[in-house]
């Protein structure tokens, strides 16, 4: 078989889940939540505006 260790590593889901449950979770710092909100706003606002523009364009196309 080609690359047996890599295949075993990919298919061994239980081992990966066990490793992730044992790792300690990192605490958020003081400004992390605000930074996440700002970045989410910057990411999702253009997408939402684009969707609104497409819907308005379709509305305009079918009504005129």
Quickly list DSSP for 2-64: -SHHHHHHHH-HHHHHHHHHHSPPPPP-TTHHHHHHHHHHHHHHHHHHHHHHHHHHHHHHHH-
Query: At 1, is the pLDDT very low, low, confident or very high (cuts 50, 70, 90)?
Result: low
Average pLDDT over residues 9-32: 82
For the question of whether the overall pTM of this predicted structure is more than 0.75, the answer is no
Average pLDDT over residues 38-60: 97
């Amino acid at each position: 078989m080609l690359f047996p260790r890599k295949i075993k590593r990919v298919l061994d889901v239980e081992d990966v889940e066990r490793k992730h449950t044992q790792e300690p979770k990192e605490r958020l710092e003081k400004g992390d939540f605000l930074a996440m909100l700002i970045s989410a706003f910057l990411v999702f606002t253009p997408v939402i505006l684009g969707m609104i523009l497409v819907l308005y364009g379709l509305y305009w196309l079918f009504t005129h």
